[in-house]
Amino acid sequence: MSLAPFYAAPPVIQFHIIAALLGLVIGPFVLFRLRRDRLHKMLGYTWIMAIIAVSVSGLMIESGIAVIGHLGPIHLFSVFSLCGLGEGLWHIKRGNIAKHRASMQSVWFGAMGLAGLFTFLPGRTMNQIVFGGPSDAGWIIIAVGVAALAWGWRGWLRRAV
């Protein structure tokens, strides 16, 4: 493990990583905690700001597979995250707690889970941070992570229906 790739990365990538880690850590406390109180609301707004920061900064990072300008398929996660946040806020303003919860949890699983796994692709900054340099071991993390997300999402969908 080495933080050298983080320090060598452009400021937008450093900001993106910090915001993502904040969203990753705060998310479970907000989204899976049973009590919905003042702490939930305070941490929830912080989490929303972190996800907005991750999404917007992500749109500024050049894709390795550019399709339109510097944007590639991975940038769809930013768009989906922002739309999911909007949907979740819309539901809570209308008092639909179940749909609010489902929207926000989907954003967390998509942005932090699925999109987060892509950061372990060989050559990406997180791959280099975790493995101390470019490594094909990132594919193992991606495979295990996708399997874990599929298993977790399956159980989550069963409970949501």
> Which pLDDT tens digit goes with each residue over 128-154?
999 988 899 999 999 999 888 888 766
For every residue of 22-52, DSSP letters joined together read: HHHHHHHHHHS-S--SHHHHHHHHHHHHHHH
Predicted TM-score of the model (pTM): 0.87
Domain span at 60: 4-116
Is 47 part of any domain? yes
In a domain, 140, yes or no: no
Residue 159 located in a structural domain: no
In a domain, 44, yes or no: yes
Residue 71 lies in a domain: yes
How many Å apart are CA 5 and CA 132, to the nearest integer?
Answer: 8
Total of domains in the chain: 1
Lowest mean pLDDT among 30-34, 88-92, 137-141: 30-34
Distances (CA, A) of 30 to 24, 63, 100, 155: 11, 30, 12, 19
Residue 153 lies in a domain: no
Q: Report the amino acid identity of residue 31.
A: L
